[in-house]
Amino acid sequence: MNTSETESTALAGKSALVVGVGGLGCPAALVLALAGVERLVLADDDLVDETNLHRQILFAEADIGQDKLEAAKRALVQRGAIESRIELCRSRFLPCNALELARSVDVVVEGADNFPTKFLVADACGIERTPVVHGAAIRWTSTCWSVSPTGTPCYRCLFEDLPSGGPAPNCDTAGVMGPVVGFAGALMADLALRVLSGEPDFGQIHTFDGLRDRHRRVPVRRRASCPLCGENRSIFDIQESRYTAPSCAA
Ligand SMILES: [Zn+2]
């Protein structure tokens, strides 16, 4: 049995959801699809944008203006993925579908480009006890880590709540280097495959500094006062108002 057969056997019957088919989601989806994940769900509602082509590796110039999901599926199949295993969810990860989406898969790969979605994914996975891999990249730096089905330590242990004072910088406003995103997306897929094959790396945050070629892995500490996984937990359901950043004018 060769390496890919071993990988496919370990992934038999396993499913993954990729939230956001962008710079992180494209490489992550490619790895997961070709590794043999039996059900790969892609969630996004955006169109392919010319300015993102340098980091969204599933898309080409001919895809500009087209539906991201269809273009991604086409690219994955062209590269050898099995078409019937790819499921398209033409929606963002929203309060109204968050719990259903989180409970429908074995692992969620969160490559969203905004904090409200990141917190929503974290909360839904925490409530449903679904392992989740979080990823983020900006300029020359990326971070990735996975949260166990016990739900702790979680995203809210690191980032208590949505940042106040308006939208935080993201790839569109602050820029990001393509190789840094590619590295992070591949690492997210690696962490997800480790979850699915029973060899997880939960609770260790990986940071990559592309300017200094430095990769670090450090443990995330559980925060006792965390509202999602702490001793006096207060988040047990999805309330839409929780995912609106407070305004600096307030
Ligand atoms: Zn927590």
**Structural domains of the chain in order of their starting residue, each with its CATH number:** 14-243 (3.40.50.720)
Rg from Cα positions in the chain: 17
Structure confidence at residue 76 (pLDDT): 98
State in Å: Cα 156 to ligand 1 middle: 5
Q: Which of 38-47, 56-65, 135-144, 238-247 has the lowest mean pLDDT?
A: 238-247
Q: pLDDT, tens digit, for every residue of 173-205?
A: 667 888 899 999 999 999 999 999 999 999 999
Confidence of residue 54 (pLDDT cuts 50, 70, 90): confident
Rama region for 148: left / alpha / beta (φ>0; ψ in -120 to 50; rest)? beta
Mean pLDDT across 87-102 = 94
Structure confidence at residue 187 (pLDDT): 97
Contact residues for 39 (Cβ-Cβ < 8 A; gap 6+): 14, 15, 16, 85, 87, 105
Whether the pLDDT of residue 163 is over 80: the answer is: no
Structure confidence at residue 2 (pLDDT): 53
Catalytic residue IDs: 171
Structure confidence at residue 7 (pLDDT): 63
Mean pLDDT across 18-33 = 96
Confidence of residue 165 (pLDDT cuts 50, 70, 90): low
DSSP character at residue 154: -
Beta-carbon-side half-sphere exposure of residue 14 (alpha carbons within 13 Å): 24
Confidence of residue 249 (pLDDT cuts 50, 70, 90): very low
Mean pLDDT across 158-173 = 70
Write down the H helix ranges in 54-104: 68-78, 98-103
Whether the pLDDT of residue 85 is over 90: the answer is: yes
State in Å: Cα 153 to ligand 1 middle: 5
Distances (CA, A) of 128 to 72, 143, 211, 239, 250: 28, 24, 38, 15, 33
Structure confidence at residue 250 (pLDDT): 32
Mean pLDDT across 165-169 = 61
Question: What CA–CA distance (Å, rounded) separates 229 from 236?
Answer: 10
Angle of CA points 122, 19, 156, to nearest 5° = 15
Whether the pLDDT of residue 245 is over 60: the answer is: no
User: Residues 119, 188: contact at Cβ < 8 Å?
Assistant: no
Long-range contacts from 228-237, C-beta under 8 angstroms, 24+ separation: 228/122, 228/123, 228/126, 228/151, 228/154, 228/155, 228/156, 228/157, 229/126, 229/150, 229/151, 229/152, 229/153, 229/154, 229/156, 229/157, 230/157, 235/123, 235/126, 235/127, 235/156, 236/127, 237/127
Confidence of residue 52 (pLDDT cuts 50, 70, 90): confident
User: Residues 181, 137: contact at Cβ < 8 Å?
Assistant: yes
State in Å: Cα 147 to ligand 1 middle: 9
State in Å: Cα 145 to ligand 1 middle: 13
Mean pLDDT across 50-63 = 90
Residue scoring higher pLDDT (160 or 44):
44
Structure confidence at residue 167 (pLDDT): 59
Q: Is the pTM of this model over 0.95?
A: no
| Paired tokens of 241 | 């108002």
